[in-house]
Amino acid sequence: MRKHIFRGRVIDVGTEEVTLPSGVTVTLDVIRHPGAALVVPLDGDRVTLIRQYRHCAGGYLWECPAGTLEPGEEPLTCARRELAEEAGLQAMTFHHAGFVFNAPGYADERIHIFVATGLSPRTAARDHDEVINEVRAFTFDDCEAMVARNEITDAKTVAALFHARRFVVRE
């Protein structure tokens, strides 16, 4: 049973009474989310990241382009849109690399991860609420070092880089 608490622009917050596999019944705070798609733009061993302002993080974060699914939208359609809007890129090929749950202890958001190859530039068309001050390609090794130095701290990006590793072409 769900008790509705709040519905925002993207999330729906409530409490749910659930019976766990152990047989114990508990009340959980649960955020329902429509899901998202994330793109790892990959050219050989170079990954294009965006530096986007995130209010909750208190500043700019290096991230892979990503966005929330629109009602009825397929994850691949969302991935194509976000790659163009945020990174100013289009791709010949998209590989579905898996998915991750952002915070499964309290939210059902599923983020589909795509690796985009065959990249070419196009005009970025950012949403009014997106503040992106840099788009830059890094080697995959640089990305790993940035994670180690806490310069890439966005969890979905860290997970996506791990998934994308198997698509890296080294010359």
- Given the structure tokens 């917050």, which residue do they identify? 13
**pLDDT tens readout for residues 65-88:** 999 999 999 999 999 999 999 999
Decide if 130 is catalytic. Answer: yes
May I ask the CATH architecture of the domain 34-167? Alpha-Beta Complex (3.90)
The model's pLDDT over 105-116, given as tens digits with 9 standing for 90+, comes to 999 999 999 999
Q: State pLDDT tens for residues 35-53.
A: 999 999 999 999 999 999 9
Distances (CA, A) of 6 to 2, 3, 32, 124, 161: 12, 10, 11, 33, 33
Contact between 85 and 67 (Cβ < 8 Å): yes
Catalytic residue among 16, 85, 130, 144: 130
Which residue from 68, 59, 29 is spatially nearest to 133, judged by alpha carbons? 59
Name which of 59-63, 65-69, 112-116, 165-169 the model is least confident about: 165-169
pTM: 0.94
Q: How far apart are CA 108 and CA 33, in angstroms?
A: 6
Q: Domain ranges in the chain?
A: 2-31, 34-167
The answer for residues whose C-beta is within 8 angstroms of residue 35's C-beta and 6 or more apart is 68, 69, 75, 109, 110, 111, 112
In this prediction, residues 18-41 reach a mean pLDDT of 98
Q: CA nearest 160: which of 150, 169, 168?
A: 168
Q: Alpha-carbon distance 11 to 106, whole Å?
A: 12
Could you give the CA distance from residue 85 to residue 76 in angstroms, rounded to a whole number? 14
- The structure tokens listed for 130 are 């997106």
